[in-house]
Amino acid sequence: MAPLASRLFLVVLALVRAFSAAAKPHYTGVLSFGDSLADTGNELARTGGGLASVPPYGETFFGHPTGRASDGRVVLDFIVEALGMPSPKPYFAGKTAADFRRGVNFAYGGSTALGPEFFLSRGLRSFVPVSLANQTAWFKNVVQLAGSEQEQRKLTATLLVMMGEMGINDYLVAITGKLSDGEIRTFVPHIVRAIRDVVTDVIGAGAKTVVVRGMIPLGCQPQMLALFEGTGAAYSRATGCLTRLNDLARLHNRALMRMVLDLRRAHRGTAILYADQYDPVAAIVLSPRKYGLGDRPLAACCGGSGTYNFDSNYATFCGVAGATTCTNPSKYVSWDGIHMTDAANRHVAGAVLRSTMLRQTPPTADLASS
């Protein structure tokens, strides 16, 4: 019998396709913003390298590295498949209007929501010089390729906008910078405001449906667990995840949901949807066998050693000499300690589709504004 997560995704896929067959197709593609959890090849196309440019990345589904930080597909891949749309072209893999007419992915590995000046003002430094401000500028470059303002709005209106789970790298910069919990929490309104600015910009450019994806449980990531191992940190008795970081993720998501409600009231002609990703990941960590996974939901499939198979010094990070890979990634939640496996991403994508009721005809403005 197929694992529960796979069966659920197939059911959702069939339902979405049934809706699509019964209605005139609306979305011609996707506009995607985000970080490495949504990057489908931008870092690779821009630099010729990057985290996910070497084996064993991509081995499960593609058979080779594609720039996706997983053994296979990311959540975005499953969503566009379910909606019968093509995979959006990574921004740095295209040049002309024709390249981007069926969708564009601006998500970039390591990207923060906030710009480098925010971190410098606090004595910190971001991991890569890419933020949502950069992704917004790339979006405006693509829209201008469509021609007249009327053509630009026409193009944007036919594309589903997916805002990825931004903020993870911002919080990681603060955490590794040894900021206190109180100081880190002050980042939340700034990050949410940066996300709001992008959503407002795409709506202003004509977008009719925007999905804002919430943050995953930060305290369940092997990277974070290894970083705080032996420090006396508090853990959930049910899951073994770090309480303080999961509390931060929930705080972030509550602020994000309030932002979505505010935007719905301000833009009643646009469907603005919140997609919960925290609970789906928490569920498979709590009961992995229920979803067809193995009994090590807090360990990385590909990595170094130790309790969480993650080297906090990154000496044996996935893809480098000395790193090892599990024999069956489909039994793991985490691929490399930071990013999820193809199997876990499939489960999360199914949850996103169910919670937003995404299909090829968009929700009505009344529903979106409720």
Active-site residues: which are they? 36, 336, 339
> For residues 335 and 49, what is the distance between their CA atoms, to the nearest angstrom?
19
- Rounded to an integer, what is the distance from CA 119 to the centroid of its chain? 22
**Cβ(246)–Cβ(279) under 8 Å?**
no
CA 190 to each of CA 18, 133, 177, 259, 269: distance values in angstroms, whole numbers, following the listed order:
40, 13, 18, 12, 26
* Cα–Cα distance, 124 to 118 (Å, whole number): 8
In the structure encoding, which two tokens stand for residue 68, read together?
A: 């996706």
Among candidate residues 318, 347, 322, 349, the one with its CA nearest the CA of residue 335: 318
β-strands 302-303, 324-325 pairing: antiparallel
For 263-363, strand residue ranges (E) read 271-275, 302-303, 324-325
Phi, psi of 278 (to 5 degrees): -70, -55
